[in-house]
Structure 1
Amino acid sequence: MKYTKRTFLLLWLVFLFAWKTSSYDIGDIVADFTLKNVDGKMISLYDYKSAQGVIVIFDCNTCPYSRIYNDRIINLHQKFVLKGFPVITINPNSPTLSPGDSFDEMVARANSKGYTFPYLVDEHQEVARSFGASNTPHVFVLKKESQGFKVAYIGTIDNNSRDASAVTKNYVEDAVNALLENRTIAMTRTKAIGCGIKWSN
C-alpha cells in the first residue's frame, strides 16, 4: 500500500512539474494562436507581425479586479497602439462555471465599454494554459523579434489594484517603454492580482 501511495504521489508531482514548466517564461518565443473575437472574426497573434510587440491580457467580465482594471486596460491600448504595442485581451473562463463570461456576454461587455482592441474567447482554454495564466487580469508583454514574439514581462498592470489614483508603479507601462527605448526592463515579473481562472477541468 505504501508503495502504491508513494508511486501515486510521485506521478502527481511529475504531472504538476510538467504542467508548470510547459508554460511560457521570460525570454520564451510564443507559438501562434488563433481565437474568435467578439466581432465574430478569427484573430491570430501573427496578424500583428508588423507590430513592435503586443500586450496580451487574460481578462474576463465577472472578476471584480477585471472590472476595476477595465478602464486602465483601455488606456493602455490608447497609449501604446500607435507606438506599435496594441492590447489583445483573452477571456479564458469556462462559461459553464461562469455564465457571465459567455460569448454573448463578452460581446455585450465589449460594446458597452467601446473596446477598440480584440476581446478573444479561449473556448478550450489551451492558450491560457500555454501561457501559464492563472488569474484575470494576467498580463504578458511580448516583444516582436526576428524569430517571433518573445515574452518580456509577466504579471500585473500596476501596484494598486483598488485605486488607480494611488498607483506609484506602472509595471506594464514601464516594461513597454523600456522595450520601445531599447532599455532593459527593470522588473520582468510581478505577481498577477485578480480572480483565479475558471478552468473547465
Structure 2
Amino acid sequence: MKTLKILVGVAFVIAISAFALDKVSGAKIDKGYSIGDVATDFKLKNVDDSLVSLEDYKDAKGFIVVFTCNHCPYSVAYEDRIIALDATFKTKGYPVVAINPNNPKAYPDDSFDNMKIRANDKGFTFPYLFDDGQKIYPQYGATKTPHVYVLEKTPQGNIVRYIGAIDNNYKDASAADQKYVEDAVNALLKGEKVPVEVTKAIGCSIKA
C-alpha cells in the first residue's frame, strides 16, 4: 500500500510538472490539425517584403499550404512540382502558399535573405513566407519539409481536407503514380470527397 501511494504521488508530481512546463512554454498539447479542422489564418512576411494572409485571397476556393525550405534536399526535389501545382490550380481557385518554418539560427541557409535568393533563382510564382518565431507550423502540426495542407474555404473557415506528402515518389515526379495533392484538389473542385485524406510526409525534420 505504501508503495502504491508513493507511485501515485510521483505520477501526480510528473503530471503537475508537465502542466506547468506547458503553461510556461505556451506550447500546444495537441499535435496540430486533423481532417475537418478549421485552420488558422496568419500574416507572414513574403520574400517581396509584403505581409500575406489567406484572407487576402478573396476569390480563392481553397489553398495548397506547403511548409518547405531552402536547404532540405526533399524540398529542393519537390520545388518544380510545387511550381507546377500552383500553375495548374491557382487559376482554378487553389493557389499555393509556401511557408518556411525553419529557425535560421539552426540553419542559416534558411534565412529570410536566402529565401529571397531561392525564390528568385527558381522563379517561384507563389508567396514564399517566413514563419518568424515559428508560431504557425506548430499550430498546423507540420513536422517535415515539405509538408502539405490542402484547405477548402467555407463559410465556417478554411477546412483541412488533406495532410501529408505531395506524391509517392520524391526522387522522380514521372515515377509517382499517386499524386495525393493533385487528386485532393481535383476532388474538391468536383465537390467530391478527397480520396486519400492523410499520408506520411516525407522530408527533413523542421529545425527549431
Answer whether TM exceeds 0.5 for this pair: yes
TM-score (norm 2): 0.89
Q: CA deviation at 1:8?
A: 5.2
Q: Of residues 141, 144, 154 in structure 1, which corresponds to 2:153?
A: 144
Q: Deviations over 1:143-169 (max 9, x none)?
A: 010121110000000001111121000
Q: Deviations over 1:64-111 (max 9, x none)?
A: 100000101010000101101000000010000000000000000000
Please say if 1:126 is aligned against 2:131: no
2:97 partner letter: I
SS at match of 1:21: coil
- The 8 Å contact of residues 62 and 100 in structure 1, kept in 2 or not, is answered as yes
The equivalent residue for 2:76 is: 67
Structure 2 stretches of 5 or more lacking a match?
A: 1-5
The equivalent residue for 2:15 is: 10
The equivalent residue for 1:37 is: 46
Note the 1:73-112 alignment, pairs <5 A: 73-112=82-121
Distance 1:62 1:155 in 2: 20
Distance 2:77 2:13 in 1: 42
Structure 1 stretches of 5 or more lacking a match?
A: none
Distance 1:102 1:7 in 2: 42
Distance 1:168 1:107 in 2: 32
Distance 2:157 2:31 in 1: 18
Q: CA deviation at 1:10?
A: 3.4
Whose radius of gyration is greater, 1 or 2? 2
TM-score (norm 1): 0.92
Residue correspondences, number? 197
